[in-house]
Structure 1
Amino acid sequence: MNALIFKVRPLILFFILGLVASFLPLIGDFYLETAQVSSVLFSFLTILGVNIESFNKSSHQSPFASHLTYLSTIYFKMGVFLTPIFASALIRGCFNLDGLFFVLLIPFVAIIFVYALLIFISGLSRHYKMVTSLIIVFLVAILPLIILKIVPHVFLFNPIWGWFPGPIYDEQILLSLNLVYHSVFVLTLSLIFIIGNRSLFKLDPLKRSIIVVITGFVLLLFLYNWSNLGLGYSLKNIESHLGGVAESEHFVLIYDDEVLSDIDVNYWLFWHEFHFYELTEQLELSWSGDKIRSVLYRDVWQKHEYTGAKYTSYVPVWNSIPQLHLDLQSADLLLRHEMVHVLTKGFSNSFIGANLKIGLTEGIAVALEDPRSVRFTRDEILVNSELEIRSDLIDDAFSFLGFYGGRSSINYSVSGSFVNYLLQNYAVDDFKCVYGGSAFDECFSSFEGIKGGWVEFVNGIPPDTTATLYARNYIGRESIFEKKCSRFVSETEKQYDIYRRMYSRGDYEGAYQVLVSLNKKYPGSTTIWMNLSELGVTLNEFVPDFNFEANHNLSDSVNVFFRQADMAIVQGDFKLADHLLTRFDSISSPNPAFEAFITSQLALRGADTVTSIIDDNTILNWQHFIYIRYKHGDIRSDYPVSHHNLWLTLKSNRNERLHLNDIDLLMNMGTNELSESNLHYIIANLIQLKSTKDLDKYALELVQTLEEKAQTKQNENVLAMYYRAINFSESYH
């Protein structure tokens, strides 16, 4: 046994492999990817070194002991491989318990499963190693593709590599209880395989039958409750769980009926049909397929539960049923992008329903995206980002490794800009030709010439200083492969995510308790205290004083002062509120925007730093502000314009729709007094309402006001879309 376990040369090899792996992105973080790679690697090594016949005939120990000894050597070698990865993660601060559970659970279960399969097949065929290897290849690479063709979600469970949680852009991955359920299922299946080898376990028929019946019953329970355990869903499962279904000419909207009202449903059906109408016109498509299933989840957490995608919206183009999956928080901006993927599937000839050059697939969706989704055009973002515009950027964006290995902000912008250049300068049929799988030179005159033309076009766009900061911040976002400990999630981040989910779903009491706990742990955190104090005012709960001992920047301090003053007004301590606001007399900043922020916040409360706030009218205004800001109250026509803007902003943040009586109230206001973001919000709500002469006139007034407020290229694109939507609404209704 000692000779078997402590062979030095193989152990040195595994240690060196682990050392190399510790420098690789993701794999070296001792997290999920580490577990997946280890699991696949040592599953095949388990097959390679096994000799079941000799184990069963061993004269030194029982067959069971021989098998156990062999498994121990596999686990020991894997431990040697993982040691340098573990040490590296620990030194770099990337280690946490979730990663440890992934690394222990996934390979441990997979190796038992593979060995159980070997034992079972050895009782059926003397070529058991080859047969098992083929089965493992099927399970690792082929079965997942078959499952993806059937199911709507992107998460997958697998007996070998364990779990694929979803899109790589959702960087933070937590240990899932569903993975534990799946591991128990795999272990139960392994037990059946082992019992199935009659030569290894010589049990009498009754005992064998009892074990088979019990384990078989457990397996059936798992299969029957597959969706209830979160191991997989069909589109019908999701529809049944969410409860709401509504149809229009081209769409079946599946939604959470506890969240969306009839007004919400009408809003979303209108914008689905409008974008569909526009995109089919632009792509010169005649849709003859089934109605598109559009699943609208209440929030990112619900979407993550059913699909595996959290902060990523997606379309499973490889699925036979046309469908898209969005959450309410981002659907307005991403609906059009995702719909492009559904529609372009019609002229893709690949088995996945999209072009294999990922830059083309995402490029067409970005080129035709909702112009509200980014503040500047993709061309402007590139030219103002300090990025050197070269033709090889397109080559990177069009390769799989180049696209997903680089920064998504760069590759999405480059591919979107390039495809938009193609659509503006060439026929749509030429683009369809290359998207369908033909070579560029077969569909266009010269690929190199077109790339050169694009570079010349983008470099010819004059820089815009107003776009510089936005563009540099946007392009500067690191990819998952550039970040240190990219999958690492601290306990604080977990708790903060729980708070955000509770708050989003209206569980303010639960969210408050989570923040109380976090505030005790981090008393100097401005973010935690500001969220806690907001809920404290909403719920009339006690909020501890803020700890100013830690270093805080000017912006944080000002926000804290305003919040403390609001709390003083709620408590009826007007003198304290007055005292807190006098601090602003001594605050000066070279940043005009910061000074404007202070002035606007004072105006919202009906106060300034020159006159005393002990004034009935000022106090009344301040109380109205608190009623709207913290108590989620409605406005009245006699409230100041600043309160109307605040009310609209809060409704927009909560994804609430405007009713006709809300529109009637707003129509009495001057359109110039509304903020730019609120103009967008009102217009988007107003356009889909049943057309009347007054509403059409008001919609046009709002669009014209927006035209005066923001004169940029992207704003022109947004306004053009609004005008087209107004015209479309007349025929739609």
Structure 2
Amino acid sequence: MKNIFKWKNFLIVYAALLLVLNLILITLPLTNVFGYEFSTVNAIVISFLSGLYVISSSKEKVDGSKLNALAIFKNLSLLLLIPFAVSIINSIFTGFCSFWDGLLFYIVLTFPSIAVGSTLGIISFAIASRLRRLVFILLFIAVSLIALFEIYFNPQVYLYNPIFGYFPGTIYDEGLSVDFKLFFYRLLNIFFFLGVFGILNNALRNKKVILVAWRRVIYSLVVAAVFYLFVSPMWGYSTTFSKLNSELSTKIETKHFIIFADKRIEKDDLKFIALNQEYFYKKLSKFLTVEFGEKINSFIFKSSDQKKELFGSGNADVAKPWQNRVYVSMDSWESSLEHEIAHCFAGKFGWGIFKVAADFNPALIEGVAEACDGIYDEMNIHFLASIAHKNSFKVSVANLFSSFSFFGNVSGLSYIYSGSYVQFLIEKFGVEKVKQYYRSNNFKQTFEIDITEVEIEYFEFLNSFSVKDWQAKANYYFGRQSLIQKVCPRYISDRIADAWYLINQKNYEDAEQLLNEVLEKTDNYSAIVGLSVIYENYDSLNSAIRILEEKLEIFKNTSYEYNLIFRLADLLVKAGRFEEAKVNFETLKNSKPNLRLELLAQLRLILMKEEKISDYVFGSDYDKYFLLKELNLIQHNYSSIPIMINLSERLNENYKLFLSNLINKFEVKDFYSSYAALKLSQYMLQNFDYLNARKLAGLSLRYKNDNGLVEYKKENFRKAEWFHKNAGRILDELKISND
């Protein structure tokens, strides 16, 4: 133990630095809990300090004797003990998310760091006679940059690396726990790095032997690198394009795109995606005045789960503009594909090797893509930004575009303000100026005016929109917490996913236990809804209703309030408490938090008048569809038609058979009839009925007083018109193959 306190090898200094760092970490979001982020940061730091310590200890061995490896690692255990002790003591006072989850992360991610760092340290000592610390730093950076190499050249966004262990990808997949794959990877790290350490340590005392040792080390490194290169994709530690192409084996080629898709996806769906891509190309090239010399590759996954497994991001679709590739899944492409393709277009005037906004400014990166689309959840982004600005969700765009505060807000809020502001800049200064700003990230130099002055003009512009009494809509879209604001986000999200899997497997007892564990930590919306589902399946409607009523006040003025009201109202119908249900449905209809909820509530109020609400709420999808067909026999009930379309798709009903149910003439007189015409137009377009799609798209435009949807309807008409003129030719030229 006396070696620990020797100043010559700096261990006590490193320990003090590590203590200070961890006292800071427990005050920061995410690292303030004993979990993934805390363990990852310490893995990086301890790897670095371990290497420096081994170099210092090796220099003391002037007699040529080898290092006492056991003593080295025993002393370095102090570095492992300090973060552990700091976080545990902090958690005793502030609360654990999960001690066992945190311990697993710490053992699997942080413990191997002393083996990795020590080995890099002894390699640096062996190959250099002077400036060994500089050599170590360069070697440490080189090993870390293997991750950058994989991100740059491979499709994946997840990373496995000896220095930090594992990075899951985007911030939008919150759930994370230690699995066997990660455990085995770190086990391989330990065996490999300790093996190299042992070879070099045994050789250091003899200059002749060290040459032989170097041959062994180099041989080991080459063999390990080649072995890892081949087995890594098979074991799931990396995803190469050959691996991805083998999984996404259907290939479709158009004039400007090459699609790689899962073979289980219907060909008609892929043709529709191909047509949309060509339309987006035409729209974006005109908007940004950019042309491509090469084709954009798009990878279409069957589901977000498949995308998570192969690519690393389940909840977020992603573009890599430096690769000229986009990665989307079938369950989300309609809302994200244009946005991701816009990133590739922006790459043509992007900065650096990653072809993004200068200095990796996230507000500029996402703002340009959002401005190109201009629509968020069917509404104009200026309209939504105005709602946010006028209803207690104000954001300083000067701060948003000059710092990384983009990630400190709810993601939707940052995306909408960024997109709206960039679109405002394009309208005011022109697209070429904005492209120059994208390349430089220097607002004043580009526009010759301070960003705070333009911010004042922008807020005046937002104030010009007529969006009175939209607090409910503002709460729905922006009343959430960002990742760094949530309580135990990794633990909670992981347990919620497990619980819903158990619910789907009808294992209600274990699911209930998990959800109650979550609710002991925080009032989580998904956990509350999950419990209500369990109680309903236990035939305990009163218990399901009670938990929603008890928790509803907690979620007041948040995005979750309105979904809970809707869920509660349906349960009240099932319990025969119709008047109470009616009050809740009327609340949703009148407050209009979201168009989907408004339509669902409006339809249920109509069914109440028809005395068919119980049949509908208790019924299967087929029962619901049959009831809605009956509702539209004499005259159209326009609020029901978008829901009928969704049910028809879920039931895989023939398109022409569906149209035969709509025998009455469409008349657009109000919002509901206009929106029904819009959704029917989109459904026709999806079924390659271009003429009727254009007709209904034009019909939907007859009603213009619809609060933010006008631009969306105009865009749908432009698309329908373009499809009518170009789709036939594009489909004739389409090349489809299955590898």
2 CA distance for matches of 1:313 and 1:129? 41
1:470 equivalent to 2:473? Answer: yes
Q: 2:284 pairs with 238, 261, 279, which one?
A: 279
2 CA distance for matches of 1:633 and 1:58? 90
Q: Which moved more, 1:699-708 or 1:267-276?
A: 699-708
1 CA distance for matches of 2:723 and 2:224? 55
The answer to whether the 8 Å contact 2:203/2:213 transfers is: no
Specify the SS of the correspondent of 1:294. strand
1 CA distance for matches of 2:695 and 2:363? 37
Specify the SS of the correspondent of 1:465. coil
- 1:416 alignment counterpart: 419
1 CA distance for matches of 2:617 and 2:455? 61
Q: 1:385 to 1:176 in 2, by over 3 A?
A: farther
Q: 1:219 to 1:433 in 2, by over 3 A?
A: closer
1:73 equivalent to 2:71? Answer: no
- 1:135 alignment counterpart: 139
Q: 1:586 to 1:647 in 2, by over 3 A?
A: closer
- 1:185 alignment counterpart: 188
Q: 1:186 to 1:651 in 2, by over 3 A?
A: farther
- 1:38 alignment counterpart: 42
- 2:699 alignment counterpart: 704
1:149 equivalent to 2:156? Answer: no
The answer to whether the 8 Å contact 1:37/1:161 transfers is: yes
Q: 1:249 to 1:13 in 2, by over 3 A?
A: closer
2 CA distance for matches of 1:484 and 1:681? 39
Alignment of 1:534-683 (within 5 A): 544-546=539-541, 548=543, 550-553=546-549, 556-563=567-574, 581=576, 583-584=577-578, 589=583, 592-593=586-587, 600-601=603-604, 608=611, 625-626=619-620, 628=622, 646-650=643-647, 659-662=654-657, 664-671=659-666, 679-683=677-681
Specify the SS of the correspondent of 2:327. strand
Q: 1:86 pairs with 85, 88, 91, which one?
A: 88
- 1:250 alignment counterpart: 256
- 1:726 alignment counterpart: 720
Alignment of 1:357-396 (within 5 A): 357-369=361-373, 371=375, 373=377, 375-382=379-386, 384-386=388-390, 393-396=396-399
Structure 1 residue 729: Cα displacement? 0.9
Letter in 2 for 1:80: I
1 CA distance for matches of 2:457 and 2:425? 9
The answer to whether the 8 Å contact 2:500/2:530 transfers is: no
Q: Which moved more, 1:333-342 or 1:675-684?
A: 675-684
2 CA distance for matches of 1:58 and 1:205? 19
Structure 1 residue 365: Cα displacement? 1.1
Structure 1 residue 232: Cα displacement? 1.0
1:494 equivalent to 2:487? Answer: no
Aligned Cα root-mean-square deviation (Å): 4.3
Q: 2:266 pairs with 246, 261, 267, which one?
A: 261
The answer to whether the 8 Å contact 2:443/2:450 transfers is: yes
Structure 1 residue 422: Cα displacement? 1.9
List per-residue Cα deviations over 1:563-584 (Å, max 9, x = no partner): 5xxxxxxxxxxxxxxxx53x32
The answer to whether the 8 Å contact 1:279/1:340 transfers is: yes
1 CA distance for matches of 2:167 and 2:654? 42
TM-score by length of 2: 0.79
2 CA distance for matches of 1:17 and 1:529? 41
Aligned residues: 674
Structure 2: 5+ residue runs without aligned partners? 520-526, 550-564, 591-599, 729-739
- 2:27 alignment counterpart: 23
Q: Which moved more, 1:667-676 or 1:232-241?
A: 667-676
The answer to whether the 8 Å contact 1:157/1:164 transfers is: yes
Specify the SS of the correspondent of 2:365. helix
The answer to whether the 8 Å contact 1:336/1:369 transfers is: yes
Structure 1 residue 313: Cα displacement? 1.7
Specify the SS of the correspondent of 2:233. coil
The answer to whether the 8 Å contact 1:246/1:253 transfers is: yes
Letter in 2 for 1:27: T
Structure 1 residue 623: Cα displacement? 11
Q: 1:658 to 1:227 in 2, by over 3 A?
A: farther
- What is the aligned-residue identity percentage? 17
1:108 equivalent to 2:102? Answer: no
Structure 1 residue 292: Cα displacement? 0.9
2 CA distance for matches of 1:211 and 1:3? 29
2 CA distance for matches of 1:627 and 1:349? 50
1:479 equivalent to 2:507? Answer: no
Specify the SS of the correspondent of 1:225. helix
- 1:714 alignment counterpart: 708
2 CA distance for matches of 1:663 and 1:324? 34
Alignment of 1:522-533 (within 5 A): 527-528=529-530, 531=533
The answer to whether the 8 Å contact 1:606/1:622 transfers is: no
Structure 1 residue 720: Cα displacement? 1.0
Structure 1 residue 593: Cα displacement? 3.6
Specify the SS of the correspondent of 1:295. strand
2 CA distance for matches of 1:439 and 1:216? 45
1:230 equivalent to 2:224? Answer: no
List per-residue Cα deviations over 1:444-487 (Å, max 9, x = no partner): 34345861563354254144125332224434433223333333
Letter in 1 for 2:699: Q
The answer to whether the 8 Å contact 1:394/1:414 transfers is: yes
The answer to whether the 8 Å contact 1:22/1:28 transfers is: yes
The answer to whether the 8 Å contact 2:388/2:478 transfers is: no
Q: 1:587 to 1:296 in 2, by over 3 A?
A: closer
Structure 1 residue 46: Cα displacement? 1.4
1 CA distance for matches of 2:665 and 2:505? 38
1:241 equivalent to 2:247? Answer: yes
Q: Which moved more, 1:99-108 or 1:593-602?
A: 593-602
- 1:338 alignment counterpart: 340
Specify the SS of the correspondent of 1:458. helix
Structure 1 residue 442: Cα displacement? 4.9
Q: 1:343 to 1:13 in 2, by over 3 A?
A: closer
List per-residue Cα deviations over 1:336-392 (Å, max 9, x = no partner): 1111111111122432201123322221111122525353533543355447899x9
Specify the SS of the correspondent of 1:589. helix
Specify the SS of the correspondent of 1:347. coil
Structure 1 residue 112: Cα displacement? 0.2
Specify the SS of the correspondent of 2:708. helix
Structure 1 residue 91: Cα displacement? 3.7
Structure 1 residue 557: Cα displacement? 5.0
Specify the SS of the correspondent of 1:254. strand
The answer to whether the 8 Å contact 1:658/1:685 transfers is: no
Q: Which moved more, 1:670-679 or 1:404-413?
A: 670-679
Structure 1 residue 105: Cα displacement? 1.6
Specify the SS of the correspondent of 1:233. coil
Letter in 1 for 2:348: G
Letter in 2 for 1:4: I
Specify the SS of the correspondent of 1:132. helix
The answer to whether the 8 Å contact 1:251/1:293 transfers is: yes
Q: Which moved more, 1:113-122 or 1:157-166?
A: 113-122
Q: Which moved more, 1:7-16 or 1:99-108?
A: 7-16
List per-residue Cα deviations over 1:498-535 (Å, max 9, x = no partner): 35xxxxxxxxxx9233446324766997633665699x
2 CA distance for matches of 1:167 and 1:47? 30
The answer to whether the 8 Å contact 2:386/2:462 transfers is: no
The answer to whether the 8 Å contact 2:674/2:699 transfers is: no
Specify the SS of the correspondent of 1:286. coil
2 CA distance for matches of 1:149 and 1:487? 26
Q: 1:159 to 1:701 in 2, by over 3 A?
A: same
2 CA distance for matches of 1:679 and 1:161? 53
